[in-house]
């Protein structure tokens, strides 16, 4: 059960609207809903209006789960744990979450390998960012060094920022490699590729900020688990693009009840489109797409980029760019590792060149933002969630979360400072944005306010 502040009227109105939306989907007006649940109609109406206690609202949600074939857990809306769109985690609080885990060394003895600390995250944030100190020190960059213990890979994508002399090891389908990283460098790791990190120096701190996050697959996890092995049939062989294209065409044909014979009847050779060889040309794709009544983009398979299984970016050797322009520069920005697979996952390192919150310094976008001060001096974070501007000092090792569409800006204090930001899309991905935008009244998809028909 998600805990909420009972006095939160805004939250109760949202949950009431969500109940109304679900009832509309089930084609139940309030009277029919109350009758089905064996509850008083006026009580249900007040709960939908957000005028009853959370306990009453929750009991309606639970009863709906018992009464209808729905996944009622989807109706719970996590409470907003941010203050005006921002949540800050101080270095001290991070330190208190410290855990040290052992892994075996070359002699088989379990010795400290990592110290983990939590950093800023919110109930709404799609990321789980950890501060991780490398405690195993090595004196070479041999990926087969027996002191180097790889993990098994994990479900979440990972974007990592490096601080100090860190060795990064990765294993892509049995091929191991080591990259010597330094402050300012970064990487991206595709889910389930084994990887690990060590220190190259007993005298210096070797730290990573490991931002793990779930993409669209994370949003679909419930259904994939429910489907079990059948879920594997969604998977395209993207490392073999021609085969992936044939699989995708077949998926679309099956969904549309279009047989090979139908293709043939329309002058398309099924052996050609479902066979091997070269990727299909634009003309064939357009013809197929028309027959299947899908946008051609559905049948297009992105080029396979082997170098993006794991991306290593030596940002420490880059000079960055001035934002927004050379003439009016408020930030020097150094982009972190990127992948075409996740075009809206963006990381940056900032040097803050202004002490004024000018319009040029203000950032605003649709992504969830994670901030971490990896330097020695504070940086001011300003944000605006309506009319008013707020400001907090982000001290060294402090971190923060900023909600989508919150305006924010950085100003410097004693110097340009050292700040990283990692931006991740939430549950509202590209496909959702496109679909929502086609609705006749998108606002009602965000907060349902009415029965689906006029009851007067």
Q: Which is nearer to Fe ion, 158 or 190 (CB)?
A: 158
Strand partners, 394: 379
Least distance CB 433 / Fe ion (angstroms): 29
Task: Report phi then psi at 306, rounded to 5.
Answer: -60, -35
Q: Which is nearer to Fe ion, 116 or 344 (CB)?
A: 116
Least distance CB 154 / Fe ion (angstroms): 6
Least distance CB 158 / Fe ion (angstroms): 5
Contact indicator for 16, 48 with CB cutoff of 8 Å: yes
Contact indicator for 280, 245 with CB cutoff of 8 Å: yes
CB atoms < 10 A from the CB of 173, how many? 7
Q: Which is nearer to Fe ion, 4 or 167 (CB)?
A: 167
How many residues does this entry show for the chain? 456
Q: Using CA atoms, how far apart are residues 132 and 84, in angstroms rounded to an integer?
A: 29
Least distance CB 128 / Fe ion (angstroms): 10
Q: Which is nearer to Fe ion, 161 or 350 (CB)?
A: 161
Of all residues in the shown chain, the one whose CB is closest to Fe ion is 158
Least distance CB 45 / Fe ion (angstroms): 49
Strand partners, 195: 170
Contact indicator for 107, 136 with CB cutoff of 8 Å: no
Q: DSSP readout, 73-93?
A: GGG------SBTTEEEE-HHH
Q: Which residues contact 237 (CB under 8 A, 6 or more apart)?
A: 243, 244, 247
Q: Which residues contact 334 (CB under 8 A, 6 or more apart)?
A: 184, 315, 318, 320, 348, 349, 350
Q: What token pair was written down for 190?
A: 């595709």
Q: Is 95 helix (H, G, I), strand (E, B) or coil?
A: helix
Q: Which is nearer to Fe ion, 129 or 425 (CB)?
A: 129
Least distance CB 208 / Fe ion (angstroms): 9
CB atoms < 10 A from the CB of 56, how many? 15
Q: Which is nearer to Fe ion, 154 or 287 (CB)?
A: 154
Q: Look up tokens 């595709």; give the residue.
A: 190
Least distance CB 195 / Fe ion (angstroms): 6
Q: DSSP readout, 231-300?
A: GGGG---TTSHHHHHHHHHHHHHHHTT--HHHHHHTT--HHHHSSSSSPPPHHHHHHHHHHHTS-GGGG-
Q: Which is nearer to Fe ion, 187 or 245 (CB)?
A: 187
Q: Which is nearer to Fe ion, 46 or 103 (CB)?
A: 103
Q: Which is nearer to Fe ion, 94 or 158 (CB)?
A: 158
Q: Which is nearer to Fe ion, 310 or 394 (CB)?
A: 310
Least distance CB 156 / Fe ion (angstroms): 8
Please give the residue ranges that form the binding site for Fe ion (CB under 5 A). 158
Least distance CB 372 / Fe ion (angstroms): 17
Report the largest interatomic distance among the alpha carbons of the chain, rounded to a whole angstrom.
80
Least distance CB 160 / Fe ion (angstroms): 8
Measured between alpha carbons, how far is residue 129 from residues 65, 117, 157, 158, 245 in Å?
Answer: 34, 9, 11, 9, 35
């Amino acid at each position: 059960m998600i805990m909420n502040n009972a006095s939160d009227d805004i939250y109760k109105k949202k949950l009431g609207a969500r109940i109304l939306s679900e009832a509309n989907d089930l084609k139940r007006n309030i009277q029919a809903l109350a009758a089905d649940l064996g509850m008083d109609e006026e009580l249900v109406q007040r709960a939908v209006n957000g005028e009853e206690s959370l306990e009453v609202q929750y009991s309606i949600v639970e009863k709906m789960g018992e009464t209808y074939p729905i996944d009622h857990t989807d109706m719970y809306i996590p409470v907003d744990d941010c203050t005006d769109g921002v949540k800050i985690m101080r270095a001290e609080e991070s330190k208190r979450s410290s855990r040290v885990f052992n892994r075996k060394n070359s002699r088989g003895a379990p010795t400290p390998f990592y110290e983990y600390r939590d950093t800023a995250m919110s109930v709404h944030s799609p990321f789980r960012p950890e501060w991780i100190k490398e405690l195993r020190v090595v004196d070479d960059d041999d990926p087969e060094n027996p002191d180097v213990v790889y993990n098994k890979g994990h479900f979440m994508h990972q974007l990592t920022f490096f601080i100090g002399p860190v060795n990064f090891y990765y294993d892509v389908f049995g091929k191991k490699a080591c990259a010597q990283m330094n402050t300012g460098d970064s990487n991206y790791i595709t889910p389930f590729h084994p990887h690990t990190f060590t220190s190259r120096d007993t005298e210096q701190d070797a730290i990573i900020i490991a931002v793990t996050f779930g993409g669209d697959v994370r949003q679909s996890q419930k259904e994939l688990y429910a489907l079990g092995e059948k879920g594997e049939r969604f998977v395209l062989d993207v490392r073999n693009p021609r085969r992936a294209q044939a699989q995708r065409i077949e998926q679309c044909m099956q969904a549309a009840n279009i047989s090979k014979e139908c293709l043939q009847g329309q002058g398309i050779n099924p052996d050609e489109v479902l066979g091997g060889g070269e990727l299909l040309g634009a003309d064939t794709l357009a013809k197929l797409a028309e027959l299947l009544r899908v946008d051609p983009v559905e049948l297009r398979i992105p080029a396979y980029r082997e170098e993006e299984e794991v991306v290593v970016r030596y940002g420490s050797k880059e000079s960055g760019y001035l934002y927004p322009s050379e003439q009016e520069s408020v930030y020097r920005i150094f982009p972190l590792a990127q992948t075409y697979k996740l075009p809206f996952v963006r990381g940056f390192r900032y040097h803050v060149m202004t002490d004024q919150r000018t319009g040029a310094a203000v950032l605003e976008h649709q992504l969830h933002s994670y901030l971490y001060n990896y330097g020695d001096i504070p940086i001011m974070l300003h944000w605006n969630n309506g009319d008013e501007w707020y400001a907090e000092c982000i001290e060294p090792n402090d971190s923060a979360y900023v909600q989508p569409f919150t305006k924010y800006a950085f100003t410097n204090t004693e110097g340009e400072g050292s700040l990283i930001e990692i931006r991740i899309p939430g549950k509202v991905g590209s496909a959702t944005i496109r679909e929502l935008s086609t609705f006749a009244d998108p606002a009602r998809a965000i907060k349902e306010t009415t029965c689906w028909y006029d009851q007067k």
